[in-house]
Amino acid sequence: MTPALGARVLVVGAGIVGRSIAYYLSRAGARTLLIEAREGPSDASRASLGVLTHFSGGQSVYGLFIRDSHAVHGPLADELFEETGIDVGWRSLGGLDLVIDREDEALVEAQWDQGRVRGVPVERLSGADVRRIEPSLANEVRWGLYFPEDQRVSPMKLGQALLEGALAHGAQIEYGERLLCIAESGEGGVVVETSKGRRSADYVVLASGAWTAPLAASVDAQVPVRPVRGEHGCFGGAELRHVLRHGGHQIIPSARGIMVGATAEEAGFSTEITQAGQRALRAVHTRLLATPGPLRSQWAGLRAKPKAGRPMIGPLNEHPRVFIATGHYKNGVLMGPLTGQVITRWILEGQPGRDMQPFVPER
């Protein structure tokens, strides 16, 4: 296929991934239309903690995608501030993996060994040292690992800035417009049916999160991605400085308070917050902090969980003008911007600029 500078691209879904794609496409000169079934930001954007977990080493294609995703955020935060005046809240906080009991000890020891073998910046801290840099920790915390490269961004601010940046570069957005199916796709372009009628474009990108499988199925493509609900709680109380991790949960400082997340629940497409979720989040908060504060708010969103653990990024086999960008599961904020860069290059220059074989959408 020939490169397509100035192409008309329809991006479906205005979550972090769709907004990242629209931002980079419009900046590169593509005529970009974003359609979004809802009237505002997605539940996943609202529920997300925005932690940009440090690169944990390894030279696999996926490992390097995470490393490069991580490196995009600091410069992107500066660019977006210059272009839109929005501070996306990018901060280099550093992270602590904490040990309370024996079970934690085995896991954290393994992380220490792996980090050192792979050359990941990490320090081992005694209980006293951990509490010195993070005074609000509970006395039960025995020791921990310090990862200086953990960062955080505000997902809502990042989404807002990416969208404003895209609009400033000429992109358009239609809220309340739902893609129903892909009606035709061929050499000449793609025709889709939406809740507002028919649209045509040179390329279509399905950045429709957990809802992507049935849309791809409209052209007989199997893109096995499903929803997994996640909840977080926002608590008042002690001031925090770092990202804290324990037992698969994270606690982070944010402008809204101390955010504790996240649950992982098989609940179909339900985005209700639950009592069980609240109990689980409270338990984490109470266990890790010396003086836990009150719950202020609770949020839930759907993560797009892909078959085989890697995001789905690239064109469909039989429909090279239909791209998929979903399945980022627990790291969509981290990987969204690099996904946007890769899709932009793939559409406009005819190749992605890096090995994307592990991310083929049809599995």
**CA-to-CA distance for 198 and 195, rounded, in angstroms?**
9
Is 48 a binding residue for ligand FAD by CB under 6 A? The answer is: yes
Is 16 a binding residue for ligand FAD by CB under 6 A? The answer is: yes
- Please give the residues from 68 up to 127 whose contact with ligand FAD meets the rule CB under 6 A: none
Nearer to ligand FAD, 41 or 292 (CB): 41
Is 32 a binding residue for ligand FAD by CB under 6 A? The answer is: no
Nearer to ligand FAD, 135 or 268 (CB): 268
Quick one: which H or E segment has residue 181? strand 179-186
Which range in 2-10, 29-37, 92-100, 346-354 contacts ligand FAD by CB under 6 A? Answer: 29-37
Contacts of 94 (CB under 8 A, 6+ apart): 146, 147, 148, 149, 150, 241, 242, 243
**CA-to-CA distance for 163 and 169, rounded, in angstroms?**
10
By CB under 6 A, name the one of 42, 154, 185, 298 that touches ligand FAD.
42
Contacts of 71 (CB under 8 A, 6+ apart): none
Is 151 a binding residue for ligand FAD by CB under 6 A? The answer is: no
How many CB atoms lie under 10 A from the CB of residue 274?
16
Is 303 a binding residue for ligand FAD by CB under 6 A? The answer is: yes
By CB under 6 A, name the one of 84, 271, 326, 344 that touches ligand FAD.
326
Total residues in contact with ligand FAD, by rule CB under 6 A: 43
Is 285 a binding residue for ligand FAD by CB under 6 A? The answer is: no
Quick one: DSSP state of residue 310? S
Nearer to ligand FAD, 125 or 338 (CB): 338
Nearer to ligand FAD, 28 or 280 (CB): 280
Is 314 a binding residue for ligand FAD by CB under 6 A? The answer is: no
Q: Least distance (Å) from ligand FAD to the CB of residue 33?
A: 12
Give Cα separations from 158 to 2, 9, 39, 303 (angstroms): 33, 22, 18, 18
How many CB atoms lie under 10 A from the CB of residue 296?
13
By CB under 6 A, name the one of 221, 304, 343, 347 that touches ligand FAD.
304
Give me the amino acid identity at 52: L
- Please give the residues from 184 up to 213 whose contact with ligand FAD meets the rule CB under 6 A: 207-209, 211
Give φ, ψ of 176 to 5 degrees. 70, 20
Q: Which of 70, 76, 96, 102 is nearest to 88 (CA)?
A: 76
Is 12 a binding residue for ligand FAD by CB under 6 A? The answer is: yes
Q: Least distance (Å) from ligand FAD to the CB of residue 348?
A: 21
Give me the amino acid identity at 153: V
Give Cα separations from 241 to 59, 94, 149, 215, 226 (angstroms): 31, 8, 14, 42, 34
Is 313 a binding residue for ligand FAD by CB under 6 A? The answer is: no
Is 257 a binding residue for ligand FAD by CB under 6 A? The answer is: no
Q: Which residue's C-beta sits nearest to ligand FAD?
A: 332
Structure token pair of residue 86? 């929005």
By CB under 6 A, name the one of 33, 35, 173, 356 that touches ligand FAD.
35
Contacts of 348 (CB under 8 A, 6+ apart): 3, 4, 5, 7, 25, 28, 29, 30
Is 26 a binding residue for ligand FAD by CB under 6 A? The answer is: no
Is 277 a binding residue for ligand FAD by CB under 6 A? The answer is: no
Cα–Cα–Cα angle for 23, 25, 27, rounded to 5 degrees: 65
Is 341 a binding residue for ligand FAD by CB under 6 A? The answer is: no
- Which residues bind to ligand FAD, rule: CB under 6 A? 12-18, 35-38, 42, 44-45, 47-51, 178-179, 207-209, 211, 215, 230-232, 261-262, 301-304, 326, 328-334
